[in-house]
Amino acid sequence: MDLIFVTQRGSSFSIEVGYYDSVLEIKEKIEKYQRIPVSKQTLVFQRKVLQDDHNIEQCNLFNNSRLKLIISSPGNDDQKGSIKVVKTEQSP
């Protein structure tokens, strides 16, 4: 079955996936064919972020379903939940 992916910029592409593929396996196929690292991908279907461990059936995906592909920007590499400590010097 084919899934259609639409990016933030409005471009789209389709990829053939298996009926029992997980979201992670779909992301790996996107990485293989579109060269977008899995770590940069977020897939959204019907306004819900798809979880990597869910499969196509759990996500209610069908042939020619349209998914939004959100690609995090290179400047957005902070890990979720991480805290940055910044030291500042005070003048006397």
DSSP string, 18-46: -TT-BHHHHHHHHHHHH---GGGEEEEET
Position 89 scores a pLDDT of: 55
Predicted TM-score of the model (pTM): 0.78
Q: What is the pLDDT of residue 79?
A: 45
Given a contact cutoff of 8 angstroms between Cβ atoms, the answer to whether 30 and 36 are in contact is yes
- Spell out the per-residue pLDDT of the chain, length 92, in tens: 999 999 999 999 999 999 999 999 999 999 999 999 999 999 999 999 999 999 999 999 999 999 999 999 876 544 444 444 444 455 55
Residue 84 is predicted with a pLDDT of 43
Does domain 2-74 correspond to CATH entry 1.10.760.10?
Answer: no
pLDDT for res 73: 82
Cα–Cα distance, 87 to 26 (Å, whole number):
42
- In this prediction, residue 51 carries a pLDDT of 97
Closest by CA to 34, choosing from 10, 8, 14, is 14
Q: Which distant-in-sequence residues (6+ apart) come within 8 Å of 13 by Cβ?
A: 4, 5, 33, 34
